[in-house]
């Protein structure tokens, strides 16, 4: 599309508070116009990122401390389930560090090379988390099965298991409460939250196994608890990796009602049709939209493209939480020409 500036058209920035029209337009000879939105939601996102970094830093300190305690406890008690829980803690620590780095990188401003900024770094952090969890589950399963098969799996000290697992349970609960707020708005924070949740459940499994050993002397309960921990890890890892793939493949977010968006656009006065509709996510909670909107000729003749762009962008921002919207306005004859060119 050949671009030039047309003083009668507008590019509108559509943020959380509505829309602001600016006297700059991108249009072609057929009379199409593009509206680009975004930017006003950045302050709230930056604030959320700062809060997430604080949450992650506190959680990292807690997890690192408990990791040392559980590792020493696993060695002294001979417990595989406690070792599995410590290994899960190690993966959590690595994952939390990756998540913290990802939030710092994601806060870097956009530039010409990275026009959307670096917020997708959070998605890659979540990808690393998922892969770490899968690797841990495979290792723990292998070790647990080996102990179940072996005639002598070694002595397991149930009392020490119980004490260390209890410390881990309390620490994981505190970390879970700290991370819960950020898990609702960030895929990266959600990954960290799910890992700590798995640790909490793992601590419960170790406590149960320790109780069985203390009451009955059945030491293979330790290996069974290890398998239970591995079984809890796998679904969480798959869920996290599925979300990552959805973002990286630019799939339409599950929360987006594309048909509803089309209906809202078509309900705008002067709009005749809409096509080439695309919705995707830069990262969790940050949606991008683009579409070609067929507009009645009178809208161009009366110079009403600016108000229309304002209305369209405000509609998507207000009703569908789309932070960045781009519209190409085109008359019916241009739309027909474009359609025939694609056939």
DSSP state of 78: T
| Percentage of the chain exceeding pLDDT 90 | 18
Structure tokens at 329: 């306005």
Structure tokens at 336: 């027909």
The confidence score (pLDDT) of residue 338 equals: 59
Residue 35 pairs in a beta bridge with: 327
- What is the model's pTM? 0.69
Same domain membership, residue 232 and residue 270:
no
Same domain membership, residue 154 and residue 48:
yes
Which pLDDT tens digit goes with each residue over 56-68? 888 889 889 989 9
Same domain membership, residue 220 and residue 71:
yes
Which pLDDT tens digit goes with each residue over 266-307? 999 989 999 999 999 887 778 899 999 999 988 888 888 899
Domain-embedded: residue 2: no
**What's the CA dihedral at 171, 173, 178, 182 to 10 degrees?**
130
Pairing, β 322-330 against β 286-295: parallel
Domain-embedded: residue 155: yes
Which pLDDT tens digit goes with each residue over 222-272? 989 989 888 888 887 888 899 899 988 888 888 888 999 999 999 999 899
Give the burial string for 257-280 (b: 16+ CB within 10 Å, else e).
eeeebeebbeeeebbeebeebebb
Same domain membership, residue 165 and residue 34:
no
Instruction: Decide: 311 and 35 in contact? Cβ < 8 Å.
Output: no
CA 84 to chain centre: 26
Instruction: Decide: 244 and 95 in contact? Cβ < 8 Å.
Output: no
Q: 153: burial class by Cβ within 10 Å (0-12, 13-18, 19+)?
A: middle
Structure tokens at 188: 């990266």
Which pLDDT tens digit goes with each residue over 200-224? 888 898 999 999 999 998 888 998 9
CATH number at residue 76: 1.20.1510.10
Same domain membership, residue 210 and residue 81:
yes
CATH number at residue 302: 3.30.70.1350
Point out the domain boundary residue: 248, 264, 287: 248
Point out the domain boundary residue: 200, 228, 248: 248
Range of the domain at 284: 11-40+252-342
Give the count of domains, the chain: 2
CA 264 to chain centre: 27
């Amino acid at each position: 599309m050949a671009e030039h500036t047309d003083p009668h058209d507008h590019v509108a920035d559509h943020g959380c508070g509505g829309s602001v029209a600016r006297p700059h337009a991108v249009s072609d000879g057929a009379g199409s116009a593009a509206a680009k939105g975004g930017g006003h939601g950045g302050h709230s996102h930056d604030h959320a990122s700062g809060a997430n970094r604080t949450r992650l830093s506190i959680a990292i300190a807690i997890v690192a401390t408990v990791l040392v305690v559980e590792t020493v406890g696993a060695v002294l008690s001979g417990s595989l389930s406690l070792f599995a829980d410590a290994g899960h803690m190690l993966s959590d620590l690595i994952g939390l560090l990756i998540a913290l780095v990802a939030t710092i990188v994601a806060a870097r401003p956009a530039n010409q090379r990275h026009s959307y900024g670096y917020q997708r770094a959070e998605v890659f952090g979540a990808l690393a988390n998922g892969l770490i969890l899968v690797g841990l589950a495979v290792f723990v399963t292998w070790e647990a099965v080996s102990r179940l098969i072996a005639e002598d799996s070694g002595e397991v000290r149930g009392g020490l298991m119980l004490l260390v697992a209890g410390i881990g349970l309390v620490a994981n609960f505190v970390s879970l409460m700290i991370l819960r707020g950020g898990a609702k708005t960030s895929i990266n924070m959600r990954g960290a939250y799910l890992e700590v949740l798995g640790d909490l459940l793992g601590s419960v499994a170790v406590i149960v196994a320790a109780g069985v050993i203390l009451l009955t002397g059945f030491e293979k309960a330790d290996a069974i608890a290890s398998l239970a921990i591995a079984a809890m890890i796998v679904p969480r890892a798959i869920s996290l990796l599925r979300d990552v793939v959805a973002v990286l493949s630019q799939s339409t977010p599950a929360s987006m009602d594309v048909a509803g968006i089309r209906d809202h656009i078509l309900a705008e006065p002067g709009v005749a049709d809409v096509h080439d509709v695309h919705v995707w996510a830069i990262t969790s909670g940050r949606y991008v939209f683009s579409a070609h909107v067929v507009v009645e000729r009178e809208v161009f003749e009366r110079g009403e493209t600016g108000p229309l762009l304002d209305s369209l962008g405000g509609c998507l921002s207000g009703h569908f939480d789309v932070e960045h919207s781009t519209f190409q306005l085109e008359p019916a004859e241009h739309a027909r020409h474009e359609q025939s060119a694609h056939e």
